[in-house]
A and B are shown apart, each in its own frame.
Chain A
Amino acid sequence: MIDMPDTATGEVVSDEITLRYDYSLGEVAGKFMQGLREKKILATRCSKSGLTYLPPRAYCERSFEPCDGWVEAGTGGVIECSSIVVRGYEGKRKAPMAIAFVRLDGIDTAIANYVDGVDLADFDEAMRRIAPGNRVRVEFIASPEGRITDFSFVLES
Chain B
Amino acid sequence: MSQQVYAIGVGLHPATRKETRFRLEELVFRTARQALESAQISRRQLDNLVIGACDELDGRPISSMLMAAPAGGYLRDEIKVTDSGATALCLAYARIRSGEFQAAMVSSWCKSSKTDADAVFRLRGDPFFMRPLGMDNVTADALFAQAVAAELGITDAEVATRIERRSRQATANPRGLQAPVRTAGEIAKSPYRATPLREGHVPELSDGAVSIVLCSQAFLDANPQVKPLARITGVGWSSDSYRLDATRLRSMKSARAAWAMAMNQAGITEASALDVIELEAPTGWHEAAYVRAFGIEDDAAVSPSGGQYAQNPLFCSGMVNAAEAILQVAGQAGAVQVPAARRSAAHSCNGYAQQGNVVAIFEAVEAGI
Contacts and interface: CB of A to CB of B under 8 A. Distances in A.
Interface of A: 13, 15, 17, 19-29, 58-59, 61-62, 64, 66
Contacts of B120: 19
B127 A23 contact: no
Contacts of A61: 69-70, 74
Most chain A CB neighbours (cut-off 10 Å) among B21, B69, B116: B69
A59 B36 CA distance: 15
21 contacts: A19-B59, A19-B119, A19-B123, A23-B23, A23-B114, A24-B19, A24-B20, A24-B23, A26-B23, A27-B21, A27-B22, A27-B26, A58-B22, A58-B23, A58-B25, A59-B70, A61-B74, A64-B36, A64-B42, A64-B43, A66-B29
A20 B114 CA distance: 9
Nearest to B111: A24
Which of under 10, 10 to 19, 20 to 34, or 35 or more describes the interface residues of B? Answer: 20 to 34
Nearest to A57: B25
A58 B116 CA distance: 26
Given A13-B127, A15-B127, A19-B116, A59 B23 contact: no
A59 B123 contact: no
- Interface SS, B side: loop
A15 B59 contact: no
A59 B26 contact: yes
Contacts of B19: 24
Given A13-B128, A19-B59, A28 B115 contact: no
A31 to B, nearest CB: 12
Contacts of B59: 19, 21, 23
A59 B67 CA distance: 12
Nearest to B25: A58
Of all A-B residue pairs in the complex, the 5 with the closest CB atoms, nearest first, are: A26-B23, A64-B43, A21-B59, A58-B26, A61-B69
Contacts of A15: 127, 131
Contacts of B29: 58-59, 66
Interface in B13-43: 19-23, 25-26, 29, 33, 36, 42-43
A24 B115 contact: no
Contacts of B23: 23-26, 28-29, 58
Contacts of A62: 74
Contacts of A23: 23, 59, 114
B356 interface: no
Nearest to A58: B26
Interface in B172-222: none
B339 to A, nearest CB: 37
B110 to A, nearest CB: 14
Nearest to B58: A21
A4 B131 CA distance: 25
A15 B126 CA distance: 11
Task: From A20, A21, A28, name the one whose CB has the most chain B CB atoms within 10 angstroms.
Answer: A21
Nearest to B120: A19
Interface in B89-136: 114-116, 119-120, 123, 127-128, 131
Contacts of A13: 127-128
B72 interface: yes
A23 B59 CA distance: 9
Contacts of B123: 17, 19
A21 B117 CA distance: 11
Given A58-B29, A61-B74, A64-B33, A24 B119 contact: no
Given A59-B26, A61-B74, A64-B72, A19 B21 contact: no
A77 to B, nearest CB: 24
A29 B69 CA distance: 17
B25 A19 contact: no
A26 B33 CA distance: 18
Given A17-B123, A24-B19, A61-B69, 19 more contacts: A13-B128, A15-B127, A15-B131, A22-B114, A24-B20, A24-B23, A26-B21, A26-B22, A26-B23, A27-B21, A27-B26, A58-B26, A59-B26, A59-B29, A59-B70, A61-B70, A64-B33, A64-B42, A64-B43
B316 to A, nearest CB: 18
Nearest to A26: B23
A13 to B, nearest CB: 6
A27 to B, nearest CB: 7
Interface string B63-94: 00000011010100000000000000000000
Contacts of A22: 114
Contacts of B74: 61-62, 64
